[in-house]
Structure formats: structure tokens, C-alpha cells
């Protein structure tokens, strides 16, 4: 079912790089942002994921993130996450760059995971950056920094904020030297993450998109697999295993 060209690229590939987005966690029961019914069809992103929104209504912002944290307590990695974990051992070098804040790649056991948009589990002071470890109950009181008294916030990257510089630099370095690049479960709408598949292509990688729906990147992809990642990634894993066994 997979093309000979894809197989040849796997045979030759030493380095594989993966960019993931919310779609990879869909089959773990988590909502995406831009699908029909997704978060951004119900909320204005600027109200919930920007400095302006936080200044305007910190309680609303915290309520939304606490809701998402609570949803996460029951979420488990799905077969897509586990297949990516196994792929790590089948290439000389392999890294995942994720826009997801849910830590499900870590839970699946992947070791080289870089979080482009932070994570939703941790919190820090919005003013001085101090990591905040105390229990949070926003219905009782909004968390405040014990040192500078600034508001504490979830450790995610909001619209208008810089991505962690070291993570972005690694993403660019890894992408430039990738032989195979997978863009999985992302609408490829949010920059700079959305630039990575383009950079991979310019740098000579074979770029595979996995997404049940077309995106603005689809026409640039070498291979577009219109399947849920939890279904197709285990099949790709099997293909790579067979190829490596016969190497
Ligand atoms: P989006 O919601 O924009 O895109 C999710 C993509 O997943 C869509 O293209 C879907 O077609 C696809 N999808 C749905 N189900 C899938 C499945 N089972 N398998 C594979 N793909 C599936 O989410 P992201 O691209 O991750 O940032 O969004 C990027 C950023 O925008 C997020 O990190 C977040 C958001 O605003 C911030 O909050 C800063």
C-alpha cells in the first residue's frame, strides 16, 4: 500500500524528524483547535491564549487551562504516540518536535521530545518567571508568585510570545539535516512551527504529511496520507521494521 519511493526513502534515511500537532492526540480523546467543534470554534484564542486575554480576565484563562488539565488526567497515549516511540530506535537519529502541551509523547516513552509551545502541566510567574509548584484552585484564589506577587500562569506559549529559543534552534538544526520529515496532526497554520515542513523540503528531506484532512501544506508534501495518525503510524512502524530487518 505504500509507494516504492517512500520505501526507498526509508531505506536511505539516517535521520527522521517529526512535527506533531493536536491531531496526534485526538484519538486520546483530546480536542484539536481548528477542526469543527475544536477549541477555536468555541472560543476566541485571544481571550484564552494571549497576554491581553490574561490581563483582561485571568480567572477565565485559568478556568480554561484547569479544565484542560483535568481532561488530561484521564488521557492516555494512543497507538500513534506508541508507534512514534518505537520509531525512535529504528533511525540513527530521531526527534519529535511537538506543538502539543499534553506530555503524551513523554508518557508513551519517547525520549527525544522537544516542546515548541511549552506544556500545560507546569506553571510559572508571569512577571519574574519563577516556577510555581503549589496546588492551584482557581475557584478559591488565583495563584500569585510568592516572591514578586505577580500572577502565576500555565507554562504554555501564548499567541504573540516567543517560542523557547533553544527549542526553536534545535528544531531548525534537526529539520535542516533530516532525511525524512513527518508532519502529523497539525493544520500547519501557526508559525514558526508551520515553517518547519517547508524548511525540511527546501533542505532536501522527503516530507510526509499525516492528516485525515488537507492542509495548506498538503500541496508541498511528497506524500500525503489521509488517515488518522493512530491508524497509519502503526502501519508505518511495521513497514520500517520490515525494511530494517532486511537491511
Ligand atoms: P489544529 O487544531 O490547528 O489542527 C489539528 C489538525 O489535526 C487538523 O489539521 C486536523 O485535520 C488534524 N486531525 C484531526 N484528527 C486527526 C487524527 N486522528 N490524526 C491526525 N490528524 C488529525 O492544531 P495544531 O496544528 O496543533 O497553539 O495547532 C497549532 C497551535 O495552534 C497549537 O499548538 C495551539 C493552537 O492555537 C497555542 O495555543 C499557542
Q: Which residue shows C-alpha cell 510559572?
A: 124
Predicted local confidence at residue 1, as pLDDT: 82
Q: How far apart are CA 83 and CA 99, in angstroms?
A: 18
Tell how far the Cα of 38 is from the centroid of ligand 1, in angstroms: 9
Helix residue ranges, H only, the chain: 4-12, 39-42, 45-48, 51-56, 58-73, 79-87, 104-108, 165-176, 195-202, 229-245
State mean pLDDT over 33-53: 96
Percent of the chain topping pLDDT 90: 99
Q: How far apart are CA 87 and CA 91, in angstroms?
A: 7
Confidence of residue 48 (pLDDT cuts 50, 70, 90): very high
Confidence of residue 247 (pLDDT cuts 50, 70, 90): confident
- Residues classed as catalytic: 117
Contact 22, 100 (CB under 8 A): yes
Give pLDDT tens digits for 202-225: 999 999 999 999 999 999 999 999
State mean pLDDT over 92-113: 98
Contact 243, 217 (CB under 8 A): no
Tell how far the Cα of 145 is from the centroid of ligand 1, in angstroms: 32
State mean pLDDT over 149-154: 98
Predicted local confidence at residue 246, as pLDDT: 87
Residue 163 φ/ψ region, left for φ over 0, alpha for ψ in the -120 to 50 degree band, beta for the rest:
beta
Helix residue ranges, H only, 51-204: 51-56, 58-73, 79-87, 104-108, 165-176, 195-202
Q: How far apart are CA 46 and CA 27, in angstroms?
A: 26
Query: Where does ligand 1 bind, in terms of residues with CB under 6 Å?
Result: 21-24, 26-27, 32-35, 38, 45, 49, 99, 117, 157-159, 185-187, 189-190, 210-213, 215, 228-230
Q: What is the pTM of this model?
A: 0.97
State mean pLDDT over 139-167: 97
State mean pLDDT over 233-239: 98
Q: How far apart are CA 153 and CA 159, in angstroms?
A: 14
Confidence of residue 151 (pLDDT cuts 50, 70, 90): very high
Q: How far apart are CA 44 and CA 27, in angstroms?
A: 24
Q: Are strands 131-132 and 118-125 parallel, antiparallel or unpaired?
A: antiparallel
Instruction: Give backbone dihedrals phi and psi of 144, rounded to 5 degrees, phi first.
Output: -125, 145
State mean pLDDT over 32-56: 96
Amino acid at each position: 500500500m505504500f509507494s516504492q519511493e517512500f520505501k526507498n526513502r526509508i531505506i536511505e534515511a539516517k535521520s527522521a524528524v517529526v512535527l506533531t500537532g493536536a491531531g496526534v492526540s485526538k484519538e486520546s480523546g483530546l480536542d484539536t483547535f481548528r477542526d469543527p467543534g475544536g477549541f477555536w470554534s468555541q472560543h476566541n484564542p485571544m481571550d484564552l491564549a494571549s497576554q491581553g486575554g490574561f490581563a483582561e480576565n485571568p480567572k477565565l484563562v485559568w478556568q480554561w487551562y484547569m479544565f484542560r488539565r483535568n481532561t488530561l488526567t484521564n488521557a492516555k497515549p494512543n497507538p500513534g504516540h506508541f508507534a512514534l516511540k518505537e520509531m525512535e530506535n529504528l533511525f540513527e537519529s530521531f526527534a519529535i518536535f511537538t506543538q502539543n502541551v499534553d506530555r503524551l509523547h513523554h508518557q508513551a516513552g519517547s525520549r527525544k521530545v522537544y516542546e515548541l509551545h511549552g506544556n500545560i502541566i507546569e506553571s510559572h510567574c508571569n512577571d519574574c518567571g519563577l516556577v510555581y509548584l503549589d496546588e492551584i484552585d482557581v475557584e478559591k484564589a488565583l495563584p500569585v508568585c510568592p516572591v514578586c506577587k505577580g500572577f502565576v500562569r500555565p507554562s504554555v506559549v501564548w499567541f504573540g510570545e516567543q517560542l523557547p529559543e533553544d527549542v526553536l534552534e534545535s528544531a531548525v538544526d534537526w529539520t535542516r539535516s533530516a532525511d525524512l520529515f513527518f508532519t502529523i496532526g497539525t493544520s500547519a497554520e501557526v508559525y514558526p512551527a508551520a515553517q518547519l515542513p517547508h524548511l525540511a523540503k527546501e533542505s532536501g528531506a522527503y516530507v510526509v504529511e499525516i492528516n485525515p484532512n488537507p492542509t495548506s501544506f498538503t500541496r508541498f508534501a511528497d506524500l500525503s496520507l489521509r488517515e488518522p495518525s493512530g491508524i497509519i503510524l502503526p502501519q508505518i512502524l511495521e513497514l520500517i521494521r520490515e525494511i530494517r530487518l532486511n537491511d
